Copies of this chain bind each other. A is one copy, B any other.
Amino acid sequence: MDAKADIREYMHELGRAARAAARVLARADTNAKDKALHAIAAQLRASASELVAKNRKDLAKAREEGRDSAFIDRLTLTAASVEQMAKGVEEVAALADPVGEITALEKRPTGIEVGRMRVPLGVIAIIYESRPNVTADAAALCLKSGNACILRGGSEAIHSNRAIAACIKAGLEKAGLPLEAVQVVETTDRAAVGELITMNEYVDIIVPRGGKELIARLMRESRIPMIKHLDGVCHVYIDDQADPEMAVRIADNAKTQRYGTCNTLETLLVAEGIAAKVLPAIAAVYRAKGVEMRGDPATRALVPDAKAATEEDWYAEYLAPIAAIRVVKGLDEAMDHIALYGSQHTDAIVTNDKARAQRFLREVDSASVMVNASTRFADGYEFGLGAEIGISTDKLHARGPVGLEGLTSQKFVVLGHGEVRT
């Protein structure tokens, strides 16, 4: 199956099957979906040694191709990671089913009652890279939210993904749900992605989980709505009404708890009225942990070993032990900085002044805004969503961490008694 026409036909076949399965899944009851999820988890556990064996094929190829150790890490399945995958699927089974509930039912003057019902989106395409655990995670979230899915993992994980897909099919079969509810794209040809992101008669939404290159390609080429994640240039602003000890603790945690995550602090903003009190202490922590500091002149006056920040630093998502630091006059200048340089992901203020906290919450236009907490909390689990399919930096539909609810929509339901419009 290498010719372009064949791939097109194959992908459209997946699309048609997914659309048909989506109709069945949309009306499946919670018990059937949970039964399938538990059966999938059991099958993953029972197949653990086979999954690890198939994964070895992918690993051998990755080593042959000279991939780096971070890549190999992401790709590797072990008995422990398979168990983790199975547990993740069971956790999704334990979440409340968002589908079918009618809310806000209200009687109108005409006599009709109008409400909203939460319903699945339909068919979700998930395009991801090396981590094979995404296959199980994403399938579980789509299944629980009543959506069919088409999973397109990286070619580097194809043997692992096929083996996981077999476990999922076995679970679906046990619960009497259509096997096409979860389909893994079997070809590694890149043309398959091109088809997937343009067949809008079959795919309702695309969730890319991968690097910026992948998302940039999809933004250029896709005509289907996406739940997508761009940059995470996160700020902590330390107000002059902050508790100094809390300020140091949050600046430390937001930057250093993990360097490579999207909700990590990249730029620290400090009010000039408190800079002399907190910046040397924060710098001491950063210095001890090997965080490179790049500051504006006012910062460098207080932190002599900070390098001079350039204009590019304020835009940078380092994902590394580097922090940009700027001293600002106060709240307004901090919010102006965030509006200009930020990426609308996650921003926090440290202050004991309630009015300023309120202004920051209201006026900073980011998916997650925080008062007196570390930006590292911006995460589906920490926010109580139970699980997350991704974090959205878009403004429409879902903002921030996206859980089951973000994989559903609401339609209007009208209960009438024979009313007609006059």
Task: Determine the chain B residues whose CB is within 8 A of the CB of A414 once the complex forms.
Answer: 348, 368-371, 373, 377-378, 383
Chain A 45-85, CB-CB to B under 8 Å as 1, else 0, gives 00000000000000000000000000000000000000000
- Known interface pairs A339-B23, A363-B23, A421-B382. Does A416 touch B110 (Cβ–Cβ under 8 Å)? no
- Known interface pairs A382-B421, A384-B106. Does A27 touch B362 (Cβ–Cβ under 8 Å)? yes
A409–B396 contact, CB under 8 A?
yes
Q: Name which residue of chain B comes closest to A408, CB basis.
A: B395
How many Å lie between the Cα of A418 and that of B242 in the bound state?
10
Task: Determine the chain B residues whose CB is within 8 A of the CB of A400 once the complex forms.
Answer: 411-412
Q: Name which residue of chain B comes closest to A394, CB basis.
A: B225
- Known interface pairs A253-B421, A384-B114, A396-B225. Does A370 touch B416 (Cβ–Cβ under 8 Å)? yes
The smallest C-beta distance from A419 to any residue of chain B, in angstroms, reads: 5
Task: Determine the chain B residues whose CB is within 8 A of the CB of A376 once the complex forms.
Answer: 420-421
Interface assignment of A100: CB less than 8 Å from any CB of chain B:
yes
Task: Determine the chain B residues whose CB is within 8 A of the CB of A374 once the complex forms.
Answer: 416, 419-421
Task: Determine the chain B residues whose CB is within 8 A of the CB of A416 once the complex forms.
Answer: 370-374, 377
Task: Determine the chain B residues whose CB is within 8 A of the CB of A367 once the complex forms.
Answer: 411-412
Interface assignment of A246: CB less than 8 Å from any CB of chain B:
yes
Q: Name which residue of chain B comes closest to A263, CB basis.
A: B421
- Known interface pairs A417-B372, A421-B374. Does A26 touch B365 (Cβ–Cβ under 8 Å)? yes
Interface window among A115-123, A165-173, A275-283: A115-123
Interface assignment of A294: CB less than 8 Å from any CB of chain B:
no
How many Å lie between the Cα of A205 and that of B372 in the bound state?
32
Chain A 96-127, CB-CB to B under 8 Å as 1, else 0, gives 00001000001010101010010101100000
- Known interface pairs A243-B418, A376-B420, A412-B368. Does A384 touch B225 (Cβ–Cβ under 8 Å)? no
- Known interface pairs A399-B409, A412-B369. Does A250 touch B418 (Cβ–Cβ under 8 Å)? yes
Which of A117, A122, A257, A372: most chain B CB closer than 10 A? A372
Task: Determine the chain B residues whose CB is within 8 A of the CB of A114 once the complex forms.
Answer: 382-384
The smallest C-beta distance from A151 to any residue of chain B, in angstroms, reads: 20
B420–A253 contact, CB under 8 A?
yes
Interface assignment of A415: CB less than 8 Å from any CB of chain B:
yes
The smallest C-beta distance from A399 to any residue of chain B, in angstroms, reads: 5
Chain A 190-221, CB-CB to B under 8 Å as 1, else 0, gives 00000000000000110000000000000100
Interface assignment of A145: CB less than 8 Å from any CB of chain B:
no
How many Å lie between the Cα of A401 and that of B412 in the bound state?
9
Query: Known pairs A204-B395, A252-B420, A383-B414. 20 more at Cβ < 8 A?
Result: A100-B362, A106-B384, A114-B382, A119-B362, A121-B396, A122-B365, A204-B396, A225-B396, A243-B418, A249-B418, A254-B420, A257-B421, A367-B411, A367-B412, A370-B416, A372-B415, A372-B418, A373-B418, A376-B420, A377-B416
13 contacts between A and B (CB under 8 A): A23-B339, A23-B365, A26-B365, A27-B363, A108-B384, A121-B396, A249-B420, A368-B414, A370-B416, A371-B414, A372-B419, A378-B414, A396-B397
